[in-house]
Structure 1
C-alpha cells in the first residue's frame, strides 16, 4: 500500500498573516512530518466581523511571509467549493485518496469548535493539531470539544509560543 502524503491545513482570514502562523506551520511540519501546509484563506470567518483588508491584499501578504518556506502554499478554495465551511474543504481535499489531512488551529479555536458547522464530521475526517496560545490553554482543555472527543484524533502541542495575534495587529 502506498504511503499517504501528509498535508497540513491552516485555515483563517489571515487578517493579517503574521509570524505566529509561520511558527505553527514550521512546527507542524517538523513534528508531524508533513510534506506541505496549505494556508486556506477565507473571505470571511463565520465567527468574526467582515475583514477590513481585501482578500487579494491578504493573499499577497501571506505569500510575502511564506516566501522562504516553499512547503507552504496559500490557497483560496471558496470559489471552487462554493463554501467557507471547513468540512466542505476537507471533503473536497479528501477526494484525493492519497492524502492524510492534519488540520492546524490555535487553542483559542478549540474553545468554540463545537459550534463549527459539522464539527464532529471534521474530527472524524482528519487529524486535529491544536497549538497552545498564550492565555488559552486552560479554557481549551476544559472545552466541550476537548472533553468529548477521542484523543487519538487530536494532538495538543505546547511549544515556544509566539505571543501575537491578528486581532492585536489590527489594533496597531
Structure 2
C-alpha cells in the first residue's frame, strides 16, 4: 500500500513506487504538500501553465484506467479540477501537449497495441472520440523464442496555429524459452563478431 512516511531527518517520503508531485507557486517561498500521482507526466505549455497528466484505475475496473489532466495556470497557486479525458485499457506511453490558445492533445498506446489520440480545440472544449494512428505488430511466437514489439518513445507537440504532431518509435524485444517454458529476455551474443 502506498503511504507517506516520515524519515528520521523529518523529510517526508512516498513509499510503494508511487509518483509524487509537489508544487511551488510563482512568488511563493515554500512548496505545497506532496500529493500522489498515478502513472503520469508533467508538461509545460507555451502560455506558462503546467499540466499534470496521469491515469488511475477506473471505477468499473476490468483493467481500465481513466486518463486525467489538471492544469496549473501561470500565476495560480493550485491546479484546477482534474478532468476525465478517456477511460481505456492503457498499454503504456501516455503523453500530452497543448498551446496557449488551449488546443490540447493526449496520446497513448492502448493495451490492444493501438496508438491512440484524442484532441480538443480549447481548454473548455469537448474531447474528440479516440482515433487510432498506428498499431504495433502482434508478437511472433516460435518454439524457442517470441519477438514482440514495444513502444519505446511517444512525444506530442502543438504549434501556435494548432498544428499537432506526434513522434513515436517501437523496437522488437526477443525472449527465449527455457526448459520450464518460462520466458527470459534475449541477450545479444558477445565476442569478436
Mark yes or no: TM-score above 0.5: no
Structure with the higher helix share, 1 or 2: 1
State TM-score, norm by structure 2. 0.24
Structure with the higher strand share, 1 or 2: 2
Indicate the structure (1 or 2) with the bigger Cα radius of gyration: 2
